[in-house]
Amino acid sequence: ETGVTQTPRHLVMGMTNKKSLKCEQHLGHNAMYWYKQSAKKPLELMFVYSLEERVENNSVPSRFSPECPNSSHLFLHLHTLQPEDSALYLCASSQELLSTEAFFGQGTRLTVV
Amino acid sequence: GQNIDQPTEMTATEGAIVQINCTYQTSGFNGLFWYQQHAGEAPTFLSYNVLDGLEEKGRFSSFLSRSKGYSYLLLKELQMKDSASYLCAVRSEDTDKLIFGTGTRLQVFP
């Protein structure tokens, strides 16, 4: 248990669906991140939020839309995804942006059919 | 360009010592991290090196040589529960972003 909770753990969606991934941390951290982990590929940073403001958008397609309503919650809204978007989506948080330790959630395993 | 290289898979025997290497080429350097990830679970932080040398933490140690762009994670007295993927990541000085390697899947056999 890392203190970062992601829901759902598994999600299957069609290419025309709209769904949202949720991440929650009550560690008092100020920075939150979305990562994508595909098979046999490195973890890819998607978005970074610091104090609820987006500070990094790593050339992610617009079909992925993040939202950070407060410092404890982070969402990833999904729409019109492609099969190649199937992956494990990991949320992480850290005390500050440049903290040496980040805490990861267990991820949402997304399958796009 | 940015590149992190580590072996894809390694195997070792319970009670043995294993060294997982990581080499990197990044635009600037602001720290190297090792994470452990068991199958289906969250990556968990193991170590952080920003200066050259060895950092020891129980059965795990991490070494860094900045001039060689090289790090290793040393696991001693291996246990079955050490079977996991080990992710090497470098923080780029230019962007402060964490760049991850593909991970090394370690299997420990009895």
Place of tokens 């104090």: A51
B30: Cβ contacts below 8 Å, ≥ 6 apart: A98, B50, B91, B92, B93, B96
pLDDT at B108: 97
pLDDT at B1: 67
Provide the pairing of β-strand B9-13 with B104-109: parallel
Mean pLDDT of B16-38: 94
Helix residue spans in A13-94 (DSSP H): none
Q: How many CA atoms lie within 13 A of B19 on its CB side?
A: 8
**B:38-67 residues touching chain A, CB 8 A cutoff:** 40-45, 48
Residue A43 to residue B41, Cβ atoms within 8 A = no
Query: First-to-last CA distance in chain B?
Result: 41
**Residue in B with minimal Cα distance to A97:** B96
Copy the structure tokens of residue A102.
């980040």
Contacts of B100 in chain A (CB under 8 A): 42-44
pLDDT 10s per residue in chain A (113 long)?
Answer: 679 999 999 999 999 999 999 999 989 999 999 999 998 888 999 999 988 888 877 789 999 999 999 999 999 999 999 999 999 999 999 998 878 788 999 999 999 99
Place of tokens 């060895």: B54
Nearest to B31 among A56, A100, A104 (CB): A100
Query: What's the pLDDT tens digit per position in B70-108?
Result: 999 999 999 999 999 999 999 887 767 788 999 999 999
Distance CA B73, CA B18 (A): 8
Q: How confident is the model at residue B58 (pLDDT cuts 50, 70, 90)?
A: very high
